[in-house]
Amino acid sequence: MPNIDFWFSIGSTYSYLSVMRLAKFGAENRVAFRWRPFNVRSIMIEMDNIPFAKKPVKAAYMWRDIERRAGMYGLSPRFPVPYPLKELERANRIAVIGASDEWCPGYTVASYRQWFEEGLPAGSEPNISQSLREAGVDPEETLNRADSAEGAEGLLAATDEARSLGIFGSPTFVVGKELFWGDDRLEDAIAWHARRNT
Amino acid sequence: MPNIDFWFSIGSTYSYLSVMRLAKFGAENRVAFRWRPFNVRSIMIEMDNIPFAKKPVKAAYMWRDIERRAGMYGLSPRFPVPYPLKELERANRIAVIGASDEWCPGYTVASYRQWFEEGLPAGSEPNISQSLREAGVDPEETLNRADSAEGAEGLLAATDEARSLGIFGSPTFVVGKELFWGDDRLEDAIAWHARRNT
């Protein structure tokens, strides 16, 4: 049974760091993560929480901070990364479908790797079909599901659940009733989890 | 000679964590910090960067996050902390005067301790005079300097310098030309500094 819920949206910049390091980090710390995609953009718009658009100094810092931290984790992003994503909703509709099956992590890692390391926006072609193939899923059938009412409703339901938990950003790690927001709180989440289980 | 510039504003919430742990942290890591007070509020208003006002969910998270991190550092804040500060400008005018002498760290630590741990807002009485006395400074003379043109100009000049460096938040650690924003980037700043000096 998963120990920590990992709430994220494909489209979030800092989530790149968590998505790419989570498998190794979980194994090293003997923690299982449940991947919970949602639409952080709609929650942020509701809250008028727009941290980077129209804030060029802060946005420039954000990219440099991600670059440095990626280096700490042995990752190799290629800048500038296309941003923001045009197809954020579609990327996350698919992730929600994948979360019911087993292929959400594989699809998400492939999406971010192509986006941040090859310059191919997540949620758009060719990234989206290639990420599905890498996750072992038929692109055509899955894209049809994502574009249907099932796809829309699945993402809305996940986003409603995130909102009800008090989540306002991506990534957010949830341990019991405690929220830990940001890739830079992953270690705090693990420490909290360890304390609860000792 | 100081190795890392510590830019901060009294009035910033997360800066409590850095202010209270910096002396011990610097000694353990053999790093000297130069304390650089400025007015982060005016820069944030210029940038329309208002992270917490009118964002109650995010603000609630911020206080809980500070509470948890304070626990990690062995600090004992008392919640709710009076916020925002009415006398932010005055608190920082004094800190700038102290930065020219030797008493800025002592005054700032005393200000934050009374504010976060005793519920007495920094920059207002009785906190402000008591913090000056704890720093070994005569309150009356120093308050007169802070309320004069010298006090206003000193804070404006410091804030102009911060802005010219690309600083948009408090605390910010500056190592060479690299900015590290947030108490949670102090360890990154130290690592960067160590790498530069090896």
A42-62: per-residue pLDDT in tens?
998 888 777 777 788 999 999
Q: What is the tally of structural domains in chain B? A: 1
Residue A63, domain extent: 4-196
Q: Is the dihedral of CA B191, B196, B197, B198 positive or negative?
A: positive
Q: Report the pLDDT value the prediction gives residue A197, as an integer from 0 to 100.
A: 76
Residue A135 C-alpha, separation from nearest chain B C-alpha, in angstroms: 34
Note the pLDDT tens digit of each residue in A108-156.
999 999 999 999 999 999 999 999 999 999 999 999 999 999 999 999 9
Kindly give the confidence (pLDDT) of every residue in chain B, 198 residues in length, as a single tens digit, with 9 standing for 90 and above.
Answer: 568 999 999 999 999 999 999 999 999 999 999 999 999 999 988 887 777 777 889 999 999 999 999 999 999 999 999 999 999 999 999 999 999 889 999 999 999 999 999 999 999 999 999 999 999 999 999 999 999 999 999 999 999 999 999 999 999 999 999 999 999 999 999 999 998 876
Nearest CA in chain A to B178: A64
Does the beta-carbon distance from B181 to A65 stay under 8 Å?
yes
| Min distance B149 CA to chain A CA atoms (Å) | 30
Q: At what angle do helices B15-29 and B104-118 cross, to 10 degrees?
A: 130
Choose from A68, A175, A183, A195 for mutation: most chain B CBs within 10 A. A68
**Would the pLDDT of A1 be above 60?**
no
Minimal CA separation from A61 to chain B, in Å: 8
Q: pLDDT tens for residues B36-76?
A: 999 999 998 888 777 777 788 999 999 999 999 999 999 99
pTM of the prediction?
0.94
Interface of B with A (CB under 8 A): 47-49, 51, 54-55, 57-58, 60-61, 64-65, 68-69, 72, 166, 168-169, 178-181, 184-185, 188, 191-192
Q: At A41, which CATH number? A: 3.40.30.10
Inter-chain contact A48–B55, Cβ cutoff 8 Å? yes
Are B166 and A55 a contacting pair at CB < 8 A?
no
Per residue in A145-194, pLDDT (tens digit) is 999 999 999 999 999 999 999 999 999 999 999 999 999 999 999 999 99
Alpha-carbon separation of residue B90 from A25, B81, B151 (angstroms): 46, 19, 8
Supply the ipTM of this predicted assembly: 0.93
